[in-house]
Amino acid sequence: MQRIDVTRDDGTWAGLSLDVRDRHQPDLCVHTAGPRLLVSQLSRPVLLAVVEEPLQGVHFRRADTARALSGSPERWAHRFARYLSDSPGSPLHEGRWLLTCESPILHGRHPTTSHAEHWSSMLVEGDPDGYIDWYLHSHSWEVLPLRPMPGPGDSRVKAYRKQVREGTLPPVLLWWVSGLDCHLILDGHARLAAAIAESVEPPLLQVHRTAARDDLAAGIEDAVGAYESALARFAGLRAFHGPTVPDGAATTGPQFARLLHDLHTARQPTWS
């Protein structure tokens, strides 16, 4: 597996691109049959689900899974990348993936809502049965534990609450699954419970599929062609109208940079 750091326009770290090869069948994967979904790990059922008509949500039944760790997003991304690559129960399969701390679920809290209230509302309830409400919660903002969440009195949660207060809590590892339109907790149930108990925003790392190598190369080629055409058009206008026409690179450069960033990081549907 090849790992490449992905940076923003200003050079700050945005995520870790994972280029997985020679791993045709993931050990943690999604199976589908009509409206039914099965998440299995090493052929062991972890989660059963049925999509409700008319596509307003999904009923699920959980089985189990989890572990623990601590540090900065970059350092933890590399640690989790090794964990995902070496673990016999990983969702990774051949293709390109992104491990990132930039998750859409970090931007949905209303200023008047506490972190404890917000993250508690994000958790999909139900043990062993439950329901993911696509109508009530849009934009893939729900988080589905793969085992019952431990309570605030749990010994692991108590230990992690100390790390929360010290600012050293390891991130919670989420896997975005398009067929469920929510995030599954791969690692960090107790850490998330500790963050909720302390009413702070938990550190997160999210893993999802990104564009395949061939699709990425084609997208970059198209983007470069469009950018060069735009530069030539601005150059022609400046030659005719003079310096009143804005510089082409300054005008179209930021959009080109964002497009390249999105090509490297955009979520792709989960294989099933």
The pLDDT tens digits for 44-96 are: 778 888 888 888 888 887 763 333 344 578 888 988 998 898 888 899 999 99
**Could you tell me if residue 271 is inside a domain?**
no
Q: Does 8 share its domain with 61?
A: yes
Q: Is 99 helix (H, G, I), strand (E, B) or coil?
A: strand
Q: Does 181 share its domain with 237?
A: no
Mean pLDDT of 12-27: 88
Q: Does 31 share its domain with 147?
A: yes
Q: Rounded distance, CA 256 to CA 248, Å?
A: 11
Q: Does 119 share its domain with 95?
A: yes
Q: Does 192 share its domain with 225?
A: no
Helices (H), 68-154: 73-86, 115-122
Q: Does 172 share its domain with 94?
A: yes
Count of alpha carbons within 13 angstroms of residue 242, beta-carbon side: 1
Which of 191, 209, 227 marks a domain boundary? Answer: 209
**Could you tell me if residue 17 is inside a domain?**
yes
Q: Does 17 share its domain with 116?
A: yes
Structure tokens at 28: 């943690």
**Could you tell me if residue 165 is inside a domain?**
yes
Q: What are the pLDDT digits (tens) for 121-133?
A: 999 988 888 898 8
Say what the pLDDT of residue 137 is: 62
Q: Does 224 share its domain with 147?
A: no
Which of 189, 209, 229 marks a domain boundary? Answer: 209
**Could you tell me if residue 272 is inside a domain?**
no
Q: Which domain holds residue 221?
A: 213-265
**Could you tell me if residue 20 is inside a domain?**
yes
Q: pTM of the entire structure?
A: 0.74
If one counts the domains in the chain, the total is 2
**Could you tell me if residue 270 is inside a domain?**
no
- Across the chain, mean pLDDT equals 86
